[in-house]
Structure 1
Amino acid sequence: MAALRTIGPKAAAALDEELMSTGAFSVDQLMELAGLSVAQAMYALSPPQQSPKILVACGPGNNGGDGLVAARHLHHFGYKPTMYFPKQTKNELYQRLRKQLEQLKVPFTDDFVSAAGKSDWIIDAIFGFSFSGEVREPFPAVIKALAESKVPVLAVDAPSSWNIEEGPPKEGPGKDYNPDALVSMTAPKPLIKGFKGRHFVGGRFVGQEIAEKYGFDVPPYQGSDQIVEYGSQGEKL
């Protein structure tokens, strides 16, 4: 079977806009389904009996929102998530997502490196498909720690600091960063050509007609699954 078709950043942004206009989805719904996909990918990689302690690193944008949602699901799946969310927004949606975690007694930390050393897995939900330019504080040290981490990492949609078209940066903190696993949202991004780990596709909310319009493939989801595992380059296993 041929590898999955990829979707670039402009098409991914246009797809999001269409889903929230003619598609009639709210950003809350899309984030909820994306976060559920991330949590299910984590479960497929290592269930809570094997690796209960998950550090979830969240950026200030939608990728971080997916991480906040994933952490709530992980808690209910039986994991013990800890949140690193240094650049918090006053956006009401993110404040509600944080409050939901606080009500579940999910802890937040300001010390990424220390928390990483006590974790069984790390979820990188810092930057997604809209990232471009330089990595700004406080994230350079975090991405350097991810690159050097002996703790396995699951990245959400894109390894943070990677160029969405080209893959890992030629220089900077993400130069040697290649996470153990990646869950692509809706469809893989072109950066997949530089990725070497386990690869999942999630985000089960797009119909065939929309997929054809934007030039990507709907994975063959089974039963109630929110994810499908592919080879590192998007080929079906």
Structure 2
Amino acid sequence: MITMLPVVTAQQMKQIDRQAIEEWGIAGLVLMENAGRAVVNALCQELPDFKSHRFLIICGPGNNGGDGFVVARHLSNLGLPATCALLGTIGKLKGDALANAQILLNARFPILEISTPEQIARLIEEHTVIIDAIFGTGLSAPPAGIYARVIELLNQCPAYRVSIDIPTGVHADTGELLEPAVRADLTVTMALPKLGLLLYPGKTCTGKLVIADIGIPAKLLHQQADILLIDAASVRQILPARPPDGNKGTFGTCLLICGSRGYTGAACLTAMAAVRAGAGLVRLAYPASLSPIIESRILEPVKHPLPETPAITLSPAALPEILKLTNLTNAVAIGPGISTSPETRNLLTELIPQIDKPLVIDADGINNLAGQLTILNQTRSPVILTPHPGELARLTGITPKEINQHRVQFAREFAEKNRVILVLKGAPTVIASPDHPVFINPTGNSGLATGGTGDVLTGLIAGLLAQNVRPLDAAITAVFLHGKAGDLAAKELTEYCLAAEDLLHYLPRAFAQLLHSSA
């Protein structure tokens, strides 16, 4: 996990910049120069017809505008048609921004001082690439006056829009839109990703995100590591080994306790995902009356019909059999499709404190914890909870809207308070664990917002736990691969048509891409 990039707030990035300048002796002008060059390099990479465009750089009065002046100079050096517009006057510029403006002027490159929206409107119409260098990460209030009107004009134009560091109008820490906000096609952010670029709704304005190296030492960047962005290279390191002389025992056993009347699909999806994760043996326990459906639907898992209630849910009478099965397994998962019937709730209340293997609790397993979270204090093994915001709301009394607005904060607080690993599903999924950073997952899409995909994730986690992957690592790996399978499926099936079962067919591609990619 050491390769994962930290995700920073505006204040953290400001501190890193200050240390780079004051303690490491890297001049601010050098950082600004590197930032501007990085934007031009990104444009060259992302635009196949790079040299055929006309570029307009719209600069604000601060350091973000200074980056824009550097971009204008390097585009000009390449002989490309570029226009630099300053929303304000050169006389009000300061520091490194003023220095780079002066360099432009010394090179006889004009900087157009803009005082009215009408002046910029004509320029916007004449250019095919617009570079937003208006405000950076320091913006904390909605743009007003000429800035607001320029952003509105920019968003209405057909040009390709590029933001430097962060789209103007996106809050760097929360992803809140301080409307109007620039809707970028490409954002080139400096040194480290900003939290607001990864959280919604800010992510909707980011477009493609490029993280640019501007010469800040890695040691300095990685000192801020309370939030990390999951990446393929780190997940590849976590995947358990597959020794060529291994057998079923080598790759472990997981027990999945799932299903009730009407929810056989949840049980089957969970079980097959655990198979796809590489577990040596998957045991599926469910209410006995579901056997005809489950036996006809899936082949590989070992089936364990259990005592049931008249409503065909798991009965407290199943407890002795389940405890026997836990002695045969390396990991346990509870919850997909089990219902919230009182009898099943009583079963879980007795069962969870007695499980001594790594435990995943999902779906109705989580819903049955509502009002009795103290059960988590009685567990004898690591616990992974995988709620979506609605399920977490039932546990905490906080609304799903509030949870989504502050998902990193709430995930961290819940995990610390209850001493569990929390996988808060959503856009993006975040993973929190006591005494560890919060992890943000970059994979996945809206096609995963459909019934059954969470069951697949539970099976993946359990299958990795069976192979003795550490619980936190299992959660990170499963979430990344689950999202990657969704991305691969959506490319062929579209996000509209993606179904949970499709993930089972695309998981092998996700694993193969991870194993064979150099990224």
Q: TM-score, normalised by structure 2?
A: 0.39
Q: Report the counterpart of residue 7 of structure 1 in structure 2.
A: 8
Determine whether 1:101 maps to 2:104.
yes
Name the CA distance, whole Å, in 2 between partners of 1:204 and 1:92: 19
Task: Check the 8 A contact 1:122/1:153 in 2, yes or no.
Answer: yes
Find the residue that maps to 2:139 and give its secondary structure: coil
Q: Report the counterpart of residue 184 of structure 1 in structure 2.
A: 189
Name the CA distance, whole Å, in 1 between partners of 2:149 and 2:55: 19
Aligned to 2:153, which of 145, 156, 170? 145
Deviations 1:115-159 (A, max 9, x none): 011101000011111111131332010111122221110100110
Name the CA distance, whole Å, in 2 between partners of 1:212 and 1:102: 38
Name the CA distance, whole Å, in 2 between partners of 1:10 and 1:108: 30
Find the residue that maps to 1:57 and give its secondary structure: strand
Give the aligned CA root-mean-square deviation in angstroms.
2.6
Return 78-87 or 190-199, whichever deviates more: 190-199
Counterpart amino acid of 2:19?
Answer: E
Task: Give runs of aligned pairs for residues 29-108 of structure 1, distance below 5 A.
Answer: 29-46=30-47, 47-51=49-53, 53-87=54-88, 88=90, 89-91=92-94, 93-108=96-111
Deviations 1:193-233 (A, max 9, x none): 2325222111331222112212268x9xxxxxxxxxxxxx8
| Bigger radius of gyration among the two | 2
Identity %: 24
Task: Give runs of aligned pairs for residues 142-221 of structure 1, distance below 5 A.
Answer: 142-169=150-177, 172-174=179-181, 177-193=182-198, 194-196=202-204, 197-215=207-225
Task: Check the 8 A contact 2:5/2:222 in 1, yes or no.
Answer: no
Residue 25 (structure 1) shift: 1.2
Give ranges in structure 2 of 5+ residues lacking alignment: 232-440, 444-517
Name the CA distance, whole Å, in 2 between partners of 1:96 and 1:3: 35
Counterpart amino acid of 2:187?
Answer: L
Residue 11 (structure 1) shift: 0.5
Residue 79 (structure 1) shift: 1.5
Deviations 1:51-87 (A, max 9, x none): 1x10001111111101101111111123211011022
Task: Check the 8 A contact 1:60/1:126 in 2, yes or no.
Answer: yes
Name the CA distance, whole Å, in 2 between partners of 1:15 and 1:58: 23
Give ranges in structure 1 of 5+ residues lacking alignment: 220-232
Task: Check the 8 A contact 2:39/2:188 in 1, yes or no.
Answer: yes
Query: Which is richer in helix?
Result: 2
Q: TM-score, normalised by structure 1?
A: 0.82
Counterpart amino acid of 2:138?
Answer: S
Q: 1:18 to 1:234 in 2, by over 3 A?
A: farther
Task: Check the 8 A contact 1:164/1:191 in 2, yes or no.
Answer: yes
Find the residue that maps to 1:195 and give its secondary structure: helix
Deviations 1:19-52 (A, max 9, x none): 111111111111111111111112222254221x
Name the CA distance, whole Å, in 2 between partners of 1:173 and 1:104: 34
Q: 1:172 to 1:213 in 2, by over 3 A?
A: closer
Find the residue that maps to 1:129 and give its secondary structure: coil
Find the residue that maps to 2:142 and give its secondary structure: coil
Task: Check the 8 A contact 2:62/2:93 in 1, yes or no.
Answer: no
Task: Check the 8 A contact 2:131/2:164 in 1, yes or no.
Answer: yes
Name the CA distance, whole Å, in 2 between partners of 1:172 and 1:213: 33
